[in-house]
Structure 1
Amino acid sequence: MQTERDLIQKYNVPGPRYTSYPTAVQFQEIDNSETVIYRLKKRNGEPRNISLYFHVPFCFSLCWYCGCTKIITKNTDRGDVYIDYLAKEMDLIKEQLHSESEVIQLHMGGGTPTFLKPDQLRRLGTEIRKRFRYHKEIEFSVEIDPRTCSKEHVSALAEIGVNRASLGVQDTNEDVQKAIHRIQPFEQTEQVTRWLREAWINSINFDLIYGLPKQTLDTFQQTLRDVQTLDPDRYAVYSYAHLPNLMPSQRLLNEEDFPTPDEKLSMLMMAIDTLEGEGYRYIGMDHFSKEGDELTKALEEGTLQRNFQGYSTHANTDMYALGMSGISMVDSIYYQNTKDLDAYYTELDNGNLPVIKQMILSEDDRVRRDWISRLMCKPRVSFSDFNKKWNVDVKSYFADEWHRLDELEEDGLIIQLEEEIQITERGRLFLRNIAMAFDAYLSQGKQTNRYSKTV
């Protein structure tokens, strides 16, 4: 059997991350939000648990590697205006929901949510709470830039109910930080982590990136040693994707400083070995969590799911994304807000949802979405459960694709049994490749150049 290094070289091809299926590449531009409104009303005839995402696009400075939708400014007063318009969008979304629906997950991302001043965060939390009912077990998370987070920020986050935090770290080496235009002394990360725990925000994730300019195996290993002293509950260890044609800020990076593909591969293997050795479970798709963490439990219990924030612990929840560029997933429709801030404001001033793209899923899309989600989120994928839900025979339905599993099995990524597919521990490293075997849009040979490498 081939080694992991051999397999990574074999399977490291462009492919989707499957935060949705179909992926955002397939979304179509629209002129108005009438179809979206109709489908939201139809969906919400009865109460259900929902997820809310709020995109705060502002950042004080540009990180050159970043591909997020962001606006660089030092004017924090812009946050007040933005919250005014988030409130307008919340009102429009609330109108479509059943009055007894409850928010079981709430996430603030960006950009940089901690761009907002503490009082602005308090106000945003108040505006959300006024409009939506919270589930008693709500998971309320926020992305934090330690460079822009004070103790008062943490106090404000605790006051509005935040119980999970994700800190952007990326790398602790000063030379790497200079190369990516993100100077963040480790003491800042350490201090914010301490403040969070003092405020009883105890579930903490660190974001790291491997494959950045100036990184070496030794420097990245030191980064892991540094952050492990803070004992986070989870890690997201991302592969840097260099797509300067899609992300213009990446053109500012010096390509001569990038590690070689083999060096980058060594960083990945070292990260997996190190974190598993420290007691973290490799969930797949960059994510690691402690044994006993809710993410690990969700994987083991079969309740794990993926959405546009990555892995989530609550299955079968519709996600409403508010703010510019937000992508919502509501049953058989995906829709995306405009990425232009002025257009976002104008549509809301006119009383419209600021939607610019949508994707209405066909029956085949829904069947494949469920199958791909199961492959990405479950250690064992039962045929009988799937067949019963969709009234199909899975092997017959995917007859054209099924032969692709033989090579995956030969390489030790899956085990095919009579009534199920098992994803091996090795296979969790290649979940994107396993899912790609069932992607009808990829089989049409469309737009693979828009995707990052799978490993």
Structure 2
Amino acid sequence: MAAVTERPLDADLLRRHDVAGPRYTSYPTADRFVEAYQGAQHLQALRQRGTAQPLSVYVHIPFCEQLCYYCACNKIITKHHERAAPYLAALNMEMDLVAEALGAGSGGAAPVSQLHLGGGSPTFLSDTELSALMDALRRRFKLLPGAELSIEVDPRTVDLQRLTHLRLLGFNRLSFGVQDFDAAVQKAVHRVQPLAQVAKLMQQARELGFASTNVDLIYGLPLQTPASFARTIAQVAELRPDRIAMYAYAHLPQRFKPQRRIVAELLPPAGDKLAMLSGAISALLGEGYAFIGMDHFALPDDPLAVAKRQGMLHRGFQGYSTQPDCDLVGLGVSSISRVGATYAQNAKTLAEYEDALKLRQLPVQRGLALTRDDLLRRAVIMALMCQGRVEFESIAASYLVDVPTYFAPELTRLTQLAEQGLVTLEPGAIQVTPLGWYFVRAIALVFDRYCQADASRERFSKII
């Protein structure tokens, strides 16, 4: 795997590719799901799958005590913690239905190599509720030795006692939502959490033996400047998390109601936003972090960085992963499952989710059965996103197509990216260059049949 360039990114190239496009945690992307796909189809996919191969499991906990103005997640803002009890009861019913469909009664519990609790704020749940949830998961699934058990943590909702409890429950990876350490920015987005608080929690996490810590950051928030974000990057680098995820803020108030509280005039101009990205990349590389792809960084000895060097990266709805390309079961409101050649998404509202389960029905609201073309393009896009290379011979053997003929229009479009130094077109392969890793979404976009046919991509965030 080629090393990523450390020279400053060209500002003109950044501007040229500052367009909207998918993040490709799936292909086709979730906006292509259809309501004709319902619980019966998902049930069939689960039954056909069985319990032979390890699964990845995602559990969505939608509750948060406070509203973060930038948020685009599916969440419920409430200080009434008693609302968690009926939701956990519904989760138990969904787990029963899924485990039964997978054949747990006859073939044993489905093995799980990766479990992730996200939200919302999973740490909205009490210690007792988290214990009950983990017990329920272990009754329906077989958590394998060495499995990655991760949870998203709101630093404002945890302390040493809570971290200790999470470790006792078996969690070995934590993801801290930070976004920015600048006090003015935190106030502008309604998420105040001092640097000292996060630093203390990260130190305690290391002492408790968590194998990995991740920090989430966002650039492009109100009142951010290249100088202020550079300070945040320096502070994060000093904390030395194993992984860093740095996302571009997408201001879409027409889609996400909380963002209407953000004063648009306070958002940084496009030039400043690009300067934040370029400066952050240079600073993190200078601090010894490896660039994984898109907006992810990791310390050189982190398994994610090792997988990148070895060409063993994988990608799913939770981003880059070291886990083999396995099926995903999503549990909870709005969760998405990927099983074989299908996707299924649960109902997005709590009422619809719970109503379906009261009838002992899977709460699937929409989904997709992939076509042969979808599967072929998914293989190409994921090869670009994860390995940075597409071997024509491998694709041809798996999908029985002549790649240069089938993708003739796409290969023609790639010549422009090749002229920009983002890809190298070989006789039997496409190779992402070290510079091209920063623009890998733009490269993948060339092979997205849906986006190429859709001139408007306003529902997506900017690629840069």
Normalised TM-score (structure 2): 0.95
User: Which of 68, 74, 92 in structure 1 is aligned with 2:73?
Assistant: 68
**Secondary structure in 1 matching 2:167:** helix
Deviation at 1:396, TM superposition (A): 1.6
**8 Å CA contact retained: 2:298, 2:304:** yes
| Paired position in structure 2 for 1:81 | 86
| Paired position in structure 2 for 1:38 | 44
Q: Which amino acid aligns with 2:46?
A: L
Over the aligned positions, Cα root-mean-square deviation in angstroms equals: 1.5
User: Which of 89, 106, 123 in structure 1 is aligned with 2:132?
Assistant: 123
How far apart, CA to CA, are the structure 1 residues paired with 2:455 and 2:323? 32
**8 Å CA contact retained: 2:38, 2:367:** no
Deviation at 1:16, TM superposition (A): 0.8
**8 Å CA contact retained: 2:38, 2:366:** no
How far apart, CA to CA, are the structure 2 residues paired with 1:215 and 1:180? 11
**8 Å CA contact retained: 1:170, 1:208:** yes
**Structure 1 position 190 matched with structure 2 position 195:** no
| Paired position in structure 2 for 1:408 | 417
Question: Cα deviation per residue 1:176-197 (whole Å; 9 max; x = unaligned)?
Answer: 0010011111122112212211
Deviation at 1:31, TM superposition (A): 7.6
How far apart, CA to CA, are the structure 2 residues paired with 1:223 and 1:238? 14
**Secondary structure in 2 matching 1:335:** strand
Which runs of structure 2 are paired with 1:58-207 in the superposition (5 Å)?
Answer: 58-98=63-103, 99-100=107-108, 101-207=110-216
Gaps of 5+ in 1: none
Change (3 A) 1:31 1:391: closer
Deviation at 1:228, TM superposition (A): 1.7
**Structure 1 position 29 matched with structure 2 position 38:** no
How far apart, CA to CA, are the structure 1 residues paired with 2:278 and 2:456? 29
Question: Cα deviation per residue 1:37-67 (whole Å; 9 max; x = unaligned)?
Answer: 11221122x5001000000000000000000
| Paired position in structure 2 for 1:48 | 53
| Paired position in structure 2 for 1:420 | 429
Deviation at 1:371, TM superposition (A): 0.6
Taking only the aligned residue pairs, the percentage that are identical comes to 44
Q: Which amino acid aligns with 1:403?
A: T
How far apart, CA to CA, are the structure 1 residues paired with 2:9 and 2:58? 40
Gaps of 5+ in 2: 1-7
Question: Cα deviation per residue 1:301-350 (whole Å; 9 max; x = unaligned)?
Answer: 22212111111111320001100000111111101001110111111111
Normalised TM-score (structure 1): 0.97
**8 Å CA contact retained: 1:121, 1:156:** no
Moved more, 125-134 or 50-59: 125-134
| Paired position in structure 2 for 1:255 | 264
Deviation at 1:32, TM superposition (A): 4.2
How far apart, CA to CA, are the structure 2 residues paired with 1:214 and 1:368? 40
| Paired position in structure 2 for 1:300 | 309
How far apart, CA to CA, are the structure 1 residues paired with 2:286 and 2:229? 16
| Paired position in structure 2 for 1:272 | 281
**Secondary structure in 2 matching 1:28:** coil
How far apart, CA to CA, are the structure 2 residues paired with 1:287 and 1:116? 28
Which runs of structure 2 are paired with 1:187-336 in the superposition (5 Å)?
Answer: 187-336=196-345
Question: Cα deviation per residue 1:84-107 (whole Å; 9 max; x = unaligned)?
Answer: 111111111111225353100000
**8 Å CA contact retained: 1:300, 1:378:** no
How far apart, CA to CA, are the structure 2 residues paired with 1:299 and 1:315? 13
| Paired position in structure 2 for 1:17 | 23
